[in-house]
Chains A and B, each alone.
Chain A
Amino acid sequence: MPAGSERAVVELRGVSKEYMRDKIRVPVLSNTNLDIPHGDFVAVMGPSGSGKSTLLNLAAGLDRPTTGTVTVAGTELNQLSESKLTRWRSQHLGFIFQLYNLMPVLTAFENVELPLLLTSLSRRQRAEHVETALRIVGLQERMDHFPRQLSGGQEQRVAIARALVNDPVLLLADEPTGNLDAAAAQEIMDLLQQLNEEFEKTIVMVTHDPRAARRARRMLHLEKGTFVETELDALEAAG
């Protein structure tokens, strides 16, 4: 398993996660170790129920491991209280969801501004940040549009701008192309690749789509809660 890097943004050490369903213990991750260094772009693949989303939730501090430790950007998430974890997320993480999860009542500008409302930035400073984020995703012309007035691809780009706007250490993407057609998916992956290469954003992406996974620097394969790393070259070779 890929562990041991000194400058890892995400470090999982001996992480196990079990859920209780109707008094039955269901193991999802078992004794998992993982290092994701700064600037990495990791695609996590695997069948349904393999633990992909659980891994993302643990890295985001949305869920706590049954055993082991999760350290992100130098902070051991297990040590943080619920409220500190929430604040930590607002400062260090950016989320990209499969269903975009934009607020339908807010414009693109207002959606991107949401995370900044939790900061002490002035209105003018917030506007500058939002415009920059929307410019990066190529939607500065549509900042006054509501989600319903945008295509799926555009909605996802707004969601990426929202994830970017507070300049997070880590971007977590859960099936970012899962709801898009091929062309829009291509655009989104171009954008994520650009964020990784130009802006050195560390990205962890869960996907079912091999084409999307190929755009990452490396791919991790989860099978029944255990990692199997596959180099992209090997994947290419495997066809």
Chain B
Amino acid sequence: MKFLPYILRNVQRNKLRSVFTGLSIAVSLFLVTVLYAYVNMQDEMGEGALKYARVVCTAKQGLTFPVPIAHVDKVKGMEGVKTVVPLAWFGGKYKDDKIPFAQFATDPDHCFEVFAEFTVPPDQLSNFQKDRTGCIVGEKIARKRQWKVGDKIVLKGDIYPVNLELTIDGIYTGPAGSDLEMLFYDYTYLDELLKQSRSQMAGNAGTMFIKAQTPEMMPDLMQRINARFANSEAPVRAMTEQAFRQMFTEMLGNIRVFIRNIAIIVVAALVCVAGNAMAMSLRERTREVAVLKAIGFSRFIVLTLVLIEAIVIAVIGGFLGVMAARLLFQFTDMSMIGIPGFSSFYVPVSTMLFSMLLAAAIGLASGIIPAWRAAQVSVVDGLRKVV
């Protein structure tokens, strides 16, 4: 600690160089933080969803294939199932929207039992359950679009050949990090319109969300659901919500490997940049290092001082990048990006800690060679050196 003032003064010695080194680390770690946050956020939300004991059921062939609505009642009767709702992605456009927000046809009576983390005022929920063309919207999207209870909205079908004319019956809220930009409406209304238009999509839902009686019952329940429909015309694949979220992530490719490779390249480049800056700084200080050693600073102390200096610069840069990522996504509307899972994008604390550790590791790696060379400086030669 007693060496800290000296280290901090050295960090500020060449302000411009330190600023640029710090900024290069900040920008790069911003990128790494965002990439890792996307993966970690999916994991964190999936793990968080475990406590809600939800099993997601899609068609075995994939998400683009329908699950017959008749499956809902069959699953409802199975042991260990508390309740089941269908969830059909409508994907309609509102006014001039180019990218649809999340709109789901579901069962109004049980939807908020399955999604227990969301809260709807009882009177609004009651109205929704009685109103076949009603809907409930998330607090965030309502605020963004200035919707209020009683407003009427029209969603133009894109996937489905029908338009929905809905009345906002209620607004749901939820804990921090939850998706408050969805719209839920009555599945029977969609099905009725599809039947009227003689669409083959009638009688089907995209997924089923099943609430198990306890989280411990989920593995067995998933097996039994899969087995129950294995020989039917529409076999299904039951999975945890975490696996379901991961499936979305994997739709973008093997994103984990992709992100890891990008991170490795970024880190390697940063180590070179920061290492070069550190080496330049030390080269200019050869005489000072020699003086330190002459007055009794050991090789180990010199090495440690240089390493800590490199780590301080990297950690300051890393902190700026990580905080920039955290604050940017906290105050920016990410639903406009249109990538699945980005509408409620946030940077988890675990990702921030990881990035800070990465910054420290970059500092350490970038400082090793300059520090080693500084520690090896001969006092006699160093004192002769005129910069």
A-to-B contact residues, CB < 8 Å: 57, 60, 62-63, 82-83, 86-87, 89-91, 93, 95, 97, 99, 101, 103-106, 110, 114-115, 117-118, 123, 162
CB distance from A108 to the nearest CB of B (A): 14
Task: Using known A-B contacts A57-B380, A62-B379, A62-B380, determine if residue A103 contacts B6 with beta carbons closer than 8 Å.
Answer: yes
Q: Could you give 17 example pairs across A and B, Cβ below 8 Å?
A: A62-B379, A83-B298, A83-B299, A83-B300, A87-B296, A90-B297, A97-B291, A97-B383, A101-B383, A104-B13, A106-B6, A110-B5, A114-B292, A117-B6, A118-B297, A118-B301, A162-B295
4 A-B pairs closest in CB distance: A90-B296, A105-B9, A101-B291, A62-B379
Residue pair A62, B294 in contact (C-beta under 8 Å): yes
CB distance from A138 to the nearest CB of B (A): 22
Q: Mark B1-44, 1 if CB is under 8 A from A, else 0.
A: 01101100110110000000000000000000000000000000
Residue pair A105, B13 in contact (C-beta under 8 Å): yes
A57 CA to B293 CA in the complex, in Å? 13
**Most chain B CB within a 10 A radius of its CB, from A103, A105, A115:** A105
**List of A residues within 8 angstroms of B291 by Cβ:** 95, 97, 101, 103
B-to-A contact residues, CB < 8 Å: 2-3, 5-6, 9-10, 12-13, 287-288, 291-301, 379-380, 383
A89 CA to B301 CA in the complex, in Å? 15
Residue pair A110, B295 in contact (C-beta under 8 Å): no
**List of B residues within 8 angstroms of A104 by Cβ:** 13
**List of B residues within 8 angstroms of A97 by Cβ:** 291, 383
**List of B residues within 8 angstroms of A95 by Cβ:** 291, 294-295
A123 CA to B1 CA in the complex, in Å? 11
Residue pair B13, A89 in contact (C-beta under 8 Å): no
**List of A residues within 8 angstroms of B300 by Cβ:** 83
**Most chain B CB within a 10 A radius of its CB, from A62, A86, A118:** A86
A87 CA to B299 CA in the complex, in Å? 11
Minimal Cβ-Cβ distance residue in B for A165:
B295
A86 CA to B378 CA in the complex, in Å? 12
**List of A residues within 8 angstroms of B13 by Cβ:** 104-105
A101 CA to B383 CA in the complex, in Å? 9
A117 CA to B297 CA in the complex, in Å? 9
A93 CA to B379 CA in the complex, in Å? 15
**List of A residues within 8 angstroms of B5 by Cβ:** 106, 110
CB distance from A177 to the nearest CB of B (A): 17
Residue pair B6, A86 in contact (C-beta under 8 Å): no
Residue pair A101, B380 in contact (C-beta under 8 Å): no
A130 CA to B382 CA in the complex, in Å? 26
Minimal Cβ-Cβ distance residue in B for A90:
B296
A89 CA to B296 CA in the complex, in Å? 5
Residue pair A91, B296 in contact (C-beta under 8 Å): yes
A162 CA to B295 CA in the complex, in Å? 9
**List of A residues within 8 angstroms of B2 by Cβ:** 117, 123
Residue pair A117, B3 in contact (C-beta under 8 Å): yes
**List of A residues within 8 angstroms of B379 by Cβ:** 62
CB distance from B244 to the nearest CB of A (A): 56
A106 CA to B5 CA in the complex, in Å? 9
A87 CA to B13 CA in the complex, in Å? 28
**List of B residues within 8 angstroms of A87 by Cβ:** 296, 298
CB distance from B68 to the nearest CB of A (A): 74
Residue pair A118, B296 in contact (C-beta under 8 Å): yes
**List of B residues within 8 angstroms of A60 by Cβ:** 294
**List of A residues within 8 angstroms of B293 by Cβ:** 86
**List of B residues within 8 angstroms of A91 by Cβ:** 296
Minimal Cβ-Cβ distance residue in A for B9:
A105
Minimal Cβ-Cβ distance residue in B for A84:
B298
A103 CA to B300 CA in the complex, in Å? 19
Task: Using known A-B contacts A97-B383, A110-B6, determine if residue A86 contacts B296 with beta carbons closer than 8 Å.
Answer: yes
**List of A residues within 8 angstroms of B301 by Cβ:** 118
A83 CA to B375 CA in the complex, in Å? 12
Residue pair A106, B9 in contact (C-beta under 8 Å): yes
Minimal Cβ-Cβ distance residue in A for B379:
A62
A63 CA to B290 CA in the complex, in Å? 13
CB distance from B215 to the nearest CB of A (A): 55
Minimal Cβ-Cβ distance residue in A for B3:
A117
A99 CA to B297 CA in the complex, in Å? 19
Task: Using known A-B contacts A62-B380, A123-B2, determine if residue A115 contacts B295 with beta carbons closer than 8 Å.
Answer: yes
CB distance from B88 to the nearest CB of A (A): 66
Minimal Cβ-Cβ distance residue in B for A114:
B295
Minimal Cβ-Cβ distance residue in A for B287:
A101
**Most chain A CB within a 10 A radius of its CB, from B13, B298, B299:** B298
**List of B residues within 8 angstroms of A106 by Cβ:** 5-6, 9
**List of B residues within 8 angstroms of A90 by Cβ:** 295-297
A101 CA to B295 CA in the complex, in Å? 11
CB distance from A62 to the nearest CB of B (A): 5
CB distance from B78 to the nearest CB of A (A): 71
CB distance from A1 to the nearest CB of B (A): 24
**List of A residues within 8 angstroms of B383 by Cβ:** 97, 101
CB distance from B372 to the nearest CB of A (A): 15
Task: Using known A-B contacts A86-B298, A87-B298, A110-B6, determine if residue A105 contacts B12 with beta carbons closer than 8 Å.
Answer: yes
CB distance from A121 to the nearest CB of B (A): 10
Residue pair A105, B297 in contact (C-beta under 8 Å): no
Residue pair A89, B295 in contact (C-beta under 8 Å): yes
Minimal Cβ-Cβ distance residue in A for B298:
A86
